[in-house]
Structures are given as structure tokens and as C-alpha cells.
Structure 1
């Protein structure tokens, strides 16, 4: 394989070198040569450390990247390594991380966009049809104490705490405790904060249903779009291709027939 000239990409605290067309073996060899050459031109104890090879890799933005990592030439199986993206962040629900990670692994291993599309649409249909596990759609945000929020703050953890305190004054979470919640369907025009419910409420009340539209358009698809738009793929078009879904008549939601 003939490689092109190295292309240097600078990232805070690290530097990436793009070796277009290089194999894993060539990448380790060239990487070590670069490290030795740079170290030799600097006074001791300055040393450039060659850390690892990503094959393949996606650089989304500064401090946000993901790839299959090899730390030694002898390593046979790659390690899925991500920094700064939703697979390692805690500010969303587990479904976001799981779907994004699986989609990236399909991309790295197959390079087949049709397989990724089928997978994403299959997960969306499970949510629309009420077949998805509620555990994958639970958010958990830290409660900072009732006096730590500004008046009128629309914070899910605070909203749920207020509701719980109307029934039991002893039910206030500890400061720093993570409060779990989900988003349900509601009547048109209702603010999002009023669609926040505790998971146990949804499990106990058959008229409450996870807001599939919100989860897909605001949580699941945006992280996918940030990755796949880099290669010209519109993941939101996959969402618009989904068939009509009839919701149960007993379900309290903003629309009984969703065109998705």
C-alpha cells in the first residue's frame, strides 16, 4: 500500500497524524519514526510520546472523536475508544449511547450505510410500538437542593421534587442525588417540563406513554447526525421514511396517529 504524506491534525493536549492508505503495521512504524525524529530535535527531557493507532477513526470536533484503538502492533482486536461524544457522556439516556455506539461499530466494521439505516429504523420502530425497555429512556439528573435554583427554573429534578413533596414532605432527594425521569406524550402546546414523569408513574399508569417523537428527534438522532453528516448522510431522512404508527386509543398524547 502506498501512503500519502502525513497530514497533521492538532487537538488540545494531543496531535493526530492522518496516514491516508496506510495499514496498521505501516501506521505503527511511521508513528514511531515521527516520535523518534521529533524527540531527537528537542533538548532533554522533552519527548514526543507515540500512543496509539486508530483504524478507523472519526474526528467530530475539537475534543470529540471516536475510533477503533490499537495500542500495540501485536494487539489483534481493537478497543472502541471515544472521547467527548454521547457514548461516554452522562447527560442523556442510555438509549442514545447504545444506539450511537452500535451504529459506529457497524460503520467501522462493515462500511455499509444500509445496515446502519436498518438498525436505527428498527430501534425507532421499537420505541414507536411501545416495545422498547423504559430503562433505556430514563434520564438521571443531579438535584442541587431547592434553594440552589433560580425562581421559576424549569429543571426536571426540581419539578419532580416539588410534586413529591406535595404528597410526602420527607421525600426530598439528598443534595447531589440523581433524580430519574422520563418524557411522556401530552396535549399540544404543553411545555416540555410538564411532560416529565417518574419512571414508576409510567409503569403504573397505562395511559402514559414514552414520547417517541421527542426521544427520536431531540435525543437519538442529533448525535447520529453530527457523526454521519461528516460523510454526507442525512439520518433524519431515515426517520421521515418510517411508516404511520397507530397509537392505542387509551393513550394520552398529542396525536393519535403520528406521521413519522
Structure 2
């Protein structure tokens, strides 16, 4: 399917966006199956939040066209190029190169340009990806743009961006940093954060309601005992 002027062909989006939008359009326009498109979008969002998406699908690339001082605002690819130059000037991107990067997890309110990182460096150091960033800043607008005419504005947002497929997340931890050696993996309840020994689904009682919670591995500090 030949697409022009939408997210499927923009080079500053991750491949995840292009692949998802292309497949959804295939369902809608060729197969005449909007329900299939919705199901595929929800499955992709679930895979993203649970870290089941290959990192190659999350790589964003931008061309380094100017020096740091010539940009009017901080740019993710420029900041990364500067950090890579400090690590190894010989292999760092040069003017005219396209800089590939992914957005990594960081404390809240950290600017996006500070969260850009070299995909190879991320793999080598098991650095967690900021999957919520990709959902909110890469997938949300393109998905709503094609589904709002079909489902309506409120329903499109409710169906695609909320619901069971967004409630289970896998939290990964980096091997960088001294504290990593003093933690071990435990399963926790997503509602109350209580460590649970069995790796299965359990029912918990929170705020007057029962929840079925999928357990995920989470690093917690080792106790002195």
C-alpha cells in the first residue's frame, strides 16, 4: 500500500509507528476489518508496555545538521552525539550523519533530550526503555488520527489507550549503578506492591474492589536478614 504524508513514511518516527499504522490501514482499507485493526493496535500497545517489542523497532534517527551551538533548543540526537563523543570521539556521529537513538527510562520530569541513548549502549548495559514515552509521544496521535473517524473521538481514546491491555507493564532494571548489586528479583502485586512468591495471577483486594493482577519481576532491595 502506497502511503504519503502520514506517519508511515516519516523518518523521524520509530519503525514501530510505521509498521503499526500500515497494518491498521491494511485492516481498515483492504480487509474492511476495523475490529481487526483495533485488536492489532491493542496487542501492539500491550507488547510495548510489557517490553516484548524488539529494540530495533524503537530506534529513532535524526540527521546531525548543525553544531550544538547552532540549535535554538536542546535536541535529543545532538545531546546524544555529544555524550558519545565524550565516550569515544572516534566512533561518535559527525555532521551530516543520521544519529540513531532510543528513549530510555529516567526519573519523572526528565527532559526527553536527556533520555536519548545509543541503542547498542542500551543493549550492552541492559538499560530500560521508556515505553510510556513511545506510547504517548509516538503512537497516540497517529492511532487517534485514523481511528477517531471510525470510532468517534472519545471512544477511540478509551478503547485504544485505556483498558486491560495497558494495565500490565514489565519493569526492567539497568545493570549500571552500584545499587544494582544489592537487589534481587521478586514478583510483586501491581496494586499494592506486595512481594508475592508464586509466579501466577492472583486476586487482590484494593480500595474496596477486587483486582486480578498479573505479577511481574521487579527488583527490590535485599534485606539485612
- TM-score, normalization by structure 2: 0.69
- Aligned partner of 1:56 in structure 2 is none
- Is 1:121 paired with 2:47? no
- Aligned partner of 2:54 in structure 1 is 133
- Aligned partner of 2:30 in structure 1 is 109
CA distance in structure 1 between the partners assigned to 2:30 and 2:150 by the alignment: 16
How far does residue 109 in structure 1 lie from its aligned partner after superposition? Answer: 2.8
- Check conservation: 1:247, 1:257, Cα contact below 8 A: no
Which of the numbers 166, 170, 173 marks the counterpart of 1:250? 173
- Check conservation: 2:45, 2:166, Cα contact below 8 A: no
Which of the numbers 48, 69, 86 marks the counterpart of 2:7? 86
Deviations 1:183-202 (A, max 9, x none): 11111121111111110122
Matches within 5 A, 1:126-205: 126-146=47-67, 149-150=70-71, 153-205=73-125
- Check conservation: 2:27, 2:36, Cα contact below 8 A: yes
Structure 2: which 5+ runs fail to align?
176-188, 192-225
CA distance in structure 1 between the partners assigned to 2:115 and 2:88 by the alignment: 21
Ranked by relative contact order (alpha carbons within 8 Å, sequence separation 6 or more), the top structure is: 2
CA distance in structure 1 between the partners assigned to 2:62 and 2:44 by the alignment: 24
How far does residue 115 in structure 1 lie from its aligned partner after superposition? Answer: 1.3
Structure 1: which 5+ runs fail to align?
1-79
Matches within 5 A, 1:4-153: 80-146=1-67, 149-150=70-71, 153=73
CA distance in structure 1 between the partners assigned to 2:174 and 2:89 by the alignment: 31
- Check conservation: 1:221, 1:235, Cα contact below 8 A: no
- Is 1:218 paired with 2:108? no
Label 1:228 to 1:244 Cα distance change in 2 as closer, same or farther (>3 A).
closer
- Check conservation: 2:102, 2:117, Cα contact below 8 A: yes
Label 1:232 to 1:246 Cα distance change in 2 as closer, same or farther (>3 A).
closer
- TM-score, normalization by structure 1: 0.61
